[in-house]
Every structure is written in C-alpha cells, then in structure tokens.
Amino acid sequence: MKGELTGLLWGALGGGAVALILRTVEKALIDVHVAESIEARQKLRKYAKPFWLACNDLEWRLNQILEKLTSGGNLDPLRWSPGDATPLQWYVEDGYYVTSTAYLLANVAAWIRLFQRDVVFLRFRKHSATAQFFHLVESLKAELSKDPPSILWYHYLNGVGEYLIDNDVPMSIAAFSSKLATDERFRVYYGQLFRFLHRLTSKDHEELLKGTLITLREIKRCLEKNGAVPEISAA
C-alpha cells in the first residue's frame, strides 16, 4: 500500500513537472513569436517604404522609356556606356540619363536582396499576402531576365543588387556614380547592366518593358493593400 501511495505521489509530481515544462515551453514559444512579430513589423517599416519608392521611381523611368520606344522618341542617351577610364564628369553630365537608369534598376534589386536576406519570414496581416509578395518579387526578376531578349540574367540581377548594398542599405546615386568612375572592378561588374539598358532601345524589348511595369505596379499595390505603406489614391 505504501509503495502504491509513493508511486501515485511520484506520478502526480511527475505529471505536474511535465505540465509545468509544457507550459514553460509554450510560453517561451509565444514570447519568441511575439518578439519575431515585433521584429518583423520593425523591418517591414524599415524596408517597405523605401522599396515602394524605389519601385515607383523605376516604374516612372521605364514608362518614360516605353513611351519613347513606341512613339519613336530619342533614346540615344540610353545607348551610351562608360569607357574603361571615364571621368566622374561623364556620369553626372552626358552619361547621367543612362547612369541614373542603371541606378534605379540596381536600387530595386538591392532592396529585393535586403528583403530576401532579412525579412524572409516576414508576416503581413495575412499569410497569403506574404506568399503573394514574394511571388511578385520573383515575377519581377523573371520579367527582367526573360530570355530572349534579356541579357540581364537572373542571378546576375541578384549581384547587381548585392553590389549596391553598403552598410545594410543601398548606396546613393552620388556614391554609385563616384564608384563607377573610380573603381574599375565595380565598373566592369556593372558593364552588363549598361549593355542591357542599351538593348532596351530596341523594339524587341517592348513586351519586357510592359511586363516589368505591370509587376512593379502590382508590388506597389501589394505593399499598400497590406499596410506596409500608406495606400496612395488619386486626388
């Protein structure tokens, strides 16, 4: 009898200990989830607005290029590319249009890399919205690297973004221009991007431009719809 009572006592104590452990683990998991949610929201605020703006700036420039392409406008400034030892003056004067276009595209690619690196488990208000967002990001990369006619290959596009990141943010256009002028290795790496922009002046890139513009607008709407940035409406 004494042995049975002892067994029951130890069983109760054991069961209580297990329950306590389970409650502790559950609380720890909840605390981790809350911490991750707070961190995710902070990163969302940090990245979403500049990413939206980067997409908006690139959309505006690509739409301008598409309009000139379809109307027979002058796209010669997009055909120019830096030489092997180009002075900084070229990037801010004659070569400004193509340089700034290269920067706008690289800036979007950089924010995409930051999202993929730091916010890969980011949660919007709905899980489906998270999946939609990353699907749109992949669609944008696929549109830009569509072969044929693109020479902006998928993994090279990743590198275009990674190379622009400095201290966990994309470098400014001033720093980008200066580095192109002074760093031969940097300039050579971005050479393919300039060649891609040259090719955008040909009619066979019209559908690529249209598809890219559609996806950029969808990314912006996704960010607005899910509370990442204030929704923009026409006045």
Whole-number average pLDDT of the chain: 83
pLDDT at 5 exceeding the cut of 60: no
In this structure, the number of other CB atoms found within 10 A of the CB of residue 6 comes to: 10
Q: In the prediction, which pLDDT does 131 show?
A: 79
Q: Find out whether 145 and 153 touch, Cβ atoms under 8 Å.
A: yes
Angle, CA of 52, 69 and 187, to the nearest 5°: 60
Q: In the prediction, which pLDDT does 215 show?
A: 97
Instruction: Determine whether 193 is exposed, middle or buried from the number of CB atoms within 10 Å of its CB (0-12, 13-18, 19+).
Output: buried
Give pLDDT tens digits for 16-72.
Answer: 555 555 565 555 444 444 445 566 667 677 788 899 999 999 999 999 999 999 999
**176/168: higher pLDDT:** 176
**19/141: higher pLDDT:** 141
Q: In the prediction, which pLDDT does 2 show?
A: 53
Q: In the prediction, which pLDDT does 83 show?
A: 79
Instruction: Pull the structure tokens for residue 173.
Output: 């256009």
Query: What distance, in Å, lies between the first and last C-alpha atoms of the chain?
Result: 84
Give pLDDT tens digits for 82-120.
Answer: 877 679 999 999 999 999 999 999 999 999 999 888 765
Q: In the prediction, which pLDDT does 129 show?
A: 72
Q: In the prediction, which pLDDT does 15 show?
A: 56
Q: In the prediction, which pLDDT does 46 show?
A: 79
Q: In the prediction, which pLDDT does 29 show?
A: 44
Give pLDDT tens digits for 169-208.
Answer: 999 999 999 999 999 999 999 999 999 999 999 999 999 9
Positive or negative, the CA dihedral 210, 116, 167, 124 is positive
- Nearest Cα neighbor of 153 from 105, 119, 214, 196 is 196
Instruction: Determine whether 52 is exposed, middle or buried from the number of CB atoms within 10 Å of its CB (0-12, 13-18, 19+).
Output: buried
**135/213: higher pLDDT:** 213
